[in-house]
Amino acid sequence: ADRQLIETNRQLVKKSIDLQEINEDFRKLSYTDSLTGLHNRRRFEELMRTELEMSHRHGDINSILVIDIDHFKRVNDEYGHPGGDCVLKDIANTLKKTLRKTDILCRIGGEEFVALCKRADKAAALLIGEKMRKDIEIRRTAFGDKFIHVTISIGIATTNEHNINMDSNALYS
């Protein structure tokens, strides 16, 4: 009876560990954009709340860069959604390489991305944004035997002593 109880307990512990791993996988999926592998809008909103709370507590400056692919509908119309998806993945990878290790890139939806640049003032955010813009402008995305060229537009918002109490939705919009 003791061996049976020990074996049953071992199986329950294994199933519990398996269930915890599955739950962690589901949690990651709920925060991840399936196309690009970036954080999604839900995760961005959570990260923004946390960072703004930290900024308020410590007086840190943060910037967000709102990035939009110019005339993206044209890409989907001309190359179809597979071409558009290829561009989105390529843009995501290119933007990630431009950011600092502490920055966070999210895909908000469609052709819109947001970069949360921790401890970056407006001047630093402008430099990061301009580097992103130039990197995308010179890039061509390979799609079959064609190359797709796109450009991006970037808006920047920075926390400072005047807006540090602003909530994340107000700063983002």
DSSP category for residue 38: S
Task: Please tell me the distance from the alpha carbon of residue 54 to that of residue 164, in angstroms, as a whole number.
Answer: 10
Q: How big is the CA angle at 91 (ends 143 and 172), to the nearest 5 degrees?
A: 145
Task: Choose, from 53, 111, 130, 161, the residue flagged as catalytic.
Answer: 111
Q: In this structure, is the dihedral angle defined by the CA atoms of residues 126, 131, 112 and 69, taken in order, positive or negative?
A: positive
Residue 7 annotated among the catalytic residues of the structure? no
Taking Cα atoms as reference points, which of 166, 64, 161 lies closest to residue 122?
64
Burial, 102: exposed, middle or buried (Cβ in 10 Å; 0-12, 13-18, 19+)? exposed
> Which residues are part of the catalytic machinery?
111
